[in-house]
Amino acid sequence: MPFDAEAVRREFPILSRRVHGKPLVYLDSAASAQKPRTVIDAMVRAMEHSYANVHRGLHTLANETTEAYEAARGKAAALIGAETNEVVWTKGGTEAINLVASGLGADLKAGDEILLTEMEHHANIVPWHFLRERQGVVLRFAPITDDGRLDLEAFRNLLNERTKVVAFSHMSNVLGTVNPAAEFVALAHAAGALTLIDGCQAIVHEQVDVKALDTDFYVFSGHKLYGPTGVGVLYGKAERLAALRPYQGGGEMIGVVTQENITYADPPHRFEAGTPPIVEVIGLGAAIDWLTALDRPAIVAHEARLYARVSEGLAGANWLRVLGEAPGKGAIFAFTVEGAHAHDVAQILDRYGVAVRAGTHCAEPLMRRFGVTSSARASFALYNTLDEADSFVDALTRTQAFFA
């Protein structure tokens, strides 16, 4: 049975609004997805009914909030096939990568190599550059092909005895390319390297099993997963988290503190210093409940139909360049329009009620790889419809006429 996007979109209050007198066509979910009513209600309920700081409190509100907070950790663990003690709350995927880079950096020395790819988001580049600047670590970048796939042979050739960490996107936020993550992990492990996977895009569109992937670390953000901003997940194998030094100091992450010495809590709390994003964690738990109750294979098929509809509608447009056409890619449509800057394209599309992203998408090395300074990006989600796909095609065609 086809996925009923019309029924689902009624659960998202914001999708009923109009922009410049036109129905909103929201095609910016790769940047941040909208929130269903159940997530909004869960967060309001937490603040109105049971809010208190988590852990250590002995009163009713503290116990209720702590229970909801830790229950959400269990939901995040179940979503990716992890154990509960392997899930660390962070403020997002970016902080999760920084946490790992900081922790691993203590054991890296000048000349050690970190292998990335040309399709990485800045969040999976800059933290490793810190180690290059401060410790002399060498960064290598595996190249990609013209259609947006990673060059597997080049990737293999870049692995060597100096490679200590391999960090890569499960799914590109610009190209939509879905990387064969388990294969990359196996190759990295065979070379003796640890692996970190940026799953911020894939977690929304793929069913992730970190044990099957065998990755050492996996990260994702809540706000792309129909949850709130300000919260994300770091998964780490239990033994990897146990060996990782603390990222920040403060309350909750300690065992005992004296004037002379400190001891640390066991993971995951070792990495959760201070008051955490309590309401946001509860909201993400609600988002996970909501998403996992849906038919996820049907969602994947629906999103593929949306992308195919757009591709068919724009086939033969000689003024259009699409970035990334790898087989099996996700429903992300990055493009340039001949003679037009991406920012101008996005602003004109907005006049038709169509919301897309424009710029470098925090992927400047990837932009340079394709010889462009920026691009526009339409990213599709489960609440988008075929009619919206058609509206985007029509609006983009009309927008191009301004530059013809």
CB neighbours of 316 closer than 8 A, spacing ≥ 6? none
DSSP 83: -
Query: What count of Cα atoms within 13 Å lies in the side-chain half-sphere of residue 63?
Result: 3
User: Do 370 and 357 meet the contact criterion of CB atoms below 8 Å apart?
Assistant: no
Residue (of 92, 89, 77) closest to 31 by Cα position: 92
Q: What residue type is assigned to position 326 of the chain?
A: A
Give the β-pairing of 113-117 and 163-169: parallel
Residue 64 CB coordination number (10 Å): 16
Give residue for tokens 């770091």.
234
The CA distance from 390 to 373, in Å, is 27
User: Do 235 and 87 meet the contact criterion of CB atoms below 8 Å apart?
Assistant: yes
200: annotated active-site residue: no
> What's the N-to-C CA distance of the chain in angstroms?
42
Query: CA angle 73-77-79, nearest 5°?
Result: 115
Please identify which of the residues 154, 254, 362, 372 carries the catalytic annotation.
Answer: 362
Give the β-pairing of 25-26 and 354-355: parallel
Q: Which three-class secondary structure state does DSSP give residue 351?
A: helix
Token representation of residue 82: 């992890």
The CA distance from 349 to 397, in Å, is 10
Residue 114 CB coordination number (10 Å): 27
Query: What count of Cα atoms within 13 Å lies in the side-chain half-sphere of residue 80?
Result: 32
The CA distance from 377 to 338, in Å, is 15
CB neighbours of 215 closer than 8 A, spacing ≥ 6? 181, 185, 195, 196, 197, 235
Helix H or strand E segment including 19 = strand 18-19
Q: What residue type is assigned to position 115 of the chain?
A: L
Token representation of residue 303: 């999103």
Catalytic residue set: 362
